[in-house]
Structure 1
Amino acid sequence: MHHNIIFIGGIHGVGKGTICSKIADELDLKHLSASEVLKWSEVSSDASNKLVKDIPDTQNRLIIGLEKRINPEKKYLLDGHFCLFDSNGIPQKVSIKTFQKIAPIAISVVTTDIMKVANRLKIRDGKDYNQNLLNEMQGAEKSHAISVAKELNVPFFEIKNGSISELMNFLSN
């Protein structure tokens, strides 16, 4: 890749898209959603499905999609996940190889109150989600995000409860 991507991760319903749109508007960056880039609608017939049958395949689709879309002259916010639910509903870490190929200049993870996330998902997907499982997934997302940032030697930012000031300061310089 072109070292012009800021990766913003977090669990489903945490507010990644809203935060990315806000940052993109303020700093004139392009916002991409990993699910749009990898064409999740072609992988799963149910858009509210959070289970990923073949994680390596979806990540390969993401990389191929990014290679087609990324303009080296622009900066991008890519919202996606550090962990995904496999076909059995068990959280799995996305391979470090995926992030090495994306080559982000910074890593961020969005976290917030699990009750808020569960309520958003209920409204959006019409399903009740186990809050303990969501909490476990959020912890796994944050932990893996930190380890990916260390492995890639890039800055890490936690966007907790919508606070984007640290990341905005980094991106503005």
Structure 2
Amino acid sequence: MKHSYRRDYIIFLGGVHGVGKSTLCNDLTEKLNINHYIASELIKQEKEINYGDSKQVKDPNQNQKILVKKIEQLKSFESLFILDGHFCVLDKNENPLELPIDTYKVLKPKAILVLYDDPEIILSNLVKRDKHKFELSTLQNLQTKELEHALSVSRYLNIPYENFKSSEKEIEEICNFINSLK
């Protein structure tokens, strides 16, 4: 039996690369029994590409169309899930690029959570994980834009918004926030 999609079933978890979104999603999946999906993985599946360690996005508008298509497919059988993604990406010159607000309008998340942290911690995470070193100023700028755009999206969609410092995250507080949305 297919579940009918309702607007309030996607929780969008944003944050820059290396801030801890996947770790948090794994914790939430275990604690709340909610599936999670990674936006870039869904896009990669469709495009059959690998972005590599640079994190630069060549065609963000096309990627967002692919993401919307993949989420529509998921909604046909998934009733509640967390989508791990971004509100900004880096262009080919490593400048932050806001993703189109229309993408989030179509995705219709119930709420937005954004992780942030000290850029030095994120940089260390990225070096360990991806062996790629960004300029600290690039990460600072990207994170600032990510937080600003996420808040703008939540205001535009009139949905709840919370941000949490990754290195201080209180899993119970985040779980309570998610449970309050049901």
TM-score of the aligned structures, taking structure 2 as reference length: 0.88
Q: Please give the alpha-carbon distance, in whole angstroms, between the structure 2 residues aligned to 1:11 and 1:43.
A: 23
* Alignment partner, residue 168 of structure 1: 175
Cα 1:2–1:118 shift into 2, 3 Å:
same
Query: Matched residues in 1 for 2:78 and 2:41: separation?
Result: 21
TM-score normalised per structure 1:
0.92
Q: Deviations over 1:135-164 (max 9, x none)?
A: 111111111111111110000010113234
- Runs of at least 4 residues of structure 1 off by over 6 A? none
Q: Deviations over 1:19-53 (max 9, x none)?
A: 11111211111110001111268364443231111
| Conserved 8 A contact 2:15-2:116 | yes
User: Among 87, 98, 106, which residue is 1:101 paired with?
Assistant: 106
With over 3 angstroms needed to count, the CA separation of the structure-2 counterparts of 1:109 and 1:72, relative to structure 1, is same
- Deviation by residue 1:54-111 (Cα, 9 ceiling, x = unmatched): 1100111111111112246521100000001112221011111000011000001100
User: What one-letter code is carried by the residue in structure 2 that aligns with 1:159?
Assistant: F
- 1:23 corresponding residue in structure 2: 28
1:63 lines up with 2:68 in the alignment: yes
Gaps of 5+ in 2: none
Measured in 1, the distance between the counterparts of 2:149 and 2:178 equals 22
* Unpaired runs of at least 5, structure 1: none
Q: 1:13 to 1:40 in 2, by over 3 A?
A: farther
Name the residue aligned to 1:85: 90
Change (3 A) 1:41 1:113: farther
> What is the total number of aligned residue pairs between the two structures?
173
Distance 1:164 1:143, change over 3 A: farther
Aligned equivalent of 1:2: 6
Whether 1:148 and 2:132 are equivalent positions in the alignment is: no
Q: Identity across aligned pairs (percent)?
A: 35
